[in-house]
Amino acid sequence: MGGGHFQEFEDEYLETMYEFYERDPEALVRTGDLSDSLKVSPASATEMIQRLASKGLVDYTPYKGARLTESGLVHGKKMKRKHRLAEVLLDILPFDGNAHATACRLEHAIDDDLEVALSLLLGRPDLDPSGREIPAPTEDILERIEAKHREIRPISSMGVGDEGVLKAMVMAPSSKAMLESLGLIVGAMILKDSQGFALGDGTRVDLDSEFHSQLLFRPS
């Protein structure tokens, strides 16, 4: 078994431990509850918790349970953030598969650079499609997001008086063709006023809210 695969297993445990932390930050997580959540044997769960404890990622008390250490909490929170960002991405794509299972795979491929890009692409969302809170980014990631915020972002983030150039349309071809027929094409100037969105020539465009996260612009 490769180290990469084992790292993914560790990530899954820490992410699941973080889910328990969300419910009750002070509670010890029993290995039996952990094995049920991860659909593994209690023996496997105990072995992994002991491994994570040896790395300083969890505090483990035999026969009682475990809780995340400070460093384990940071890691588990980061993995849960990546998972929920992946679910938001899948929700705006024409994706018909199992979003949760796919997000479980995608989260392991999201490095810091991609986390920054996704945060900006998705409009820095606070909730996933199920209404669950997306954990805040770590301080270093937040600094990078803030630094790049003016580069490119979805029109859902526009306030009244904002304007910029449309740079990308992340949507199904049929939807893209429909919007292009209205003059909303890559390179067009788009602005937001108190009535909604308009093109640079003054033409008003009535956009369904579903498109607001799929149209990316660069602020002027």
Same domain, 86 and 144: yes
What's CA 54's distance to the chain center, in Å? 29
Per-residue pLDDT for 14 more than 80? yes
Angstrom distances, CA of residue 71 to CA of 59, 116, 129, 171: 11, 21, 28, 38
Per-residue pLDDT for 131 more than 60? yes
Residue 50, in any domain of the structure: yes
Domain final residue pick, 95, 130, 148: 148
User: Residue 161 sits in which domain range?
Assistant: 153-219
Residue 198, in any domain of the structure: yes
Same domain, 27 and 84: no
Same domain, 31 and 49: yes
Average pLDDT, the chain: 91
The pLDDT of 132-161, averaged and rounded, is 90
Same domain, 108 and 161: no
Over residues 32-75, the pLDDT tens digits come to 999 999 999 999 999 999 999 999 999 999 999 999 999 999 99
Residue 189, in any domain of the structure: yes
Residue 75, in any domain of the structure: no
Residue 74, in any domain of the structure: no
* CATH code for the domain in which residue 10 is found: 1.10.10.10
Domain final residue pick, 18, 48, 68: 68
Same domain, 144 and 86: yes
Residue 93, in any domain of the structure: yes
Which one has a higher pLDDT value, 58 or 156? Answer: 58
Number of domains in the chain: 3
Residue 159, in any domain of the structure: yes
* CATH code for the domain in which residue 164 is found: 2.30.30.90
Same domain, 157 and 142: no
Same domain, 35 and 52: yes
Ordered DSSP codes for the chain: --HHHHHHHHHHHHHHHHHHHHH-TTPPBPHHHHHHHHT--HHHHHHHHHHHHHTTSEEEETTTEEEE-HHHHHHHHHHHHHHHHHHHHHHHTT--S-HHHHHHHHGGG--HHHHHHHHHHTT--SB-TTSPBPPPPPHHHHHHHHHHTTT-EEGGG--TT-EEEEEEE-S-HHHHHHHHTTT--TT-EEEEETTEEEETTS-EE---GGGTTTEEEEE-
Q: What percent of the chain has pLDDT over 90?
A: 73
pLDDT at 4: 61
Same domain, 57 and 85: no
Residue 115, in any domain of the structure: yes
Domain final residue pick, 133, 148, 163: 148
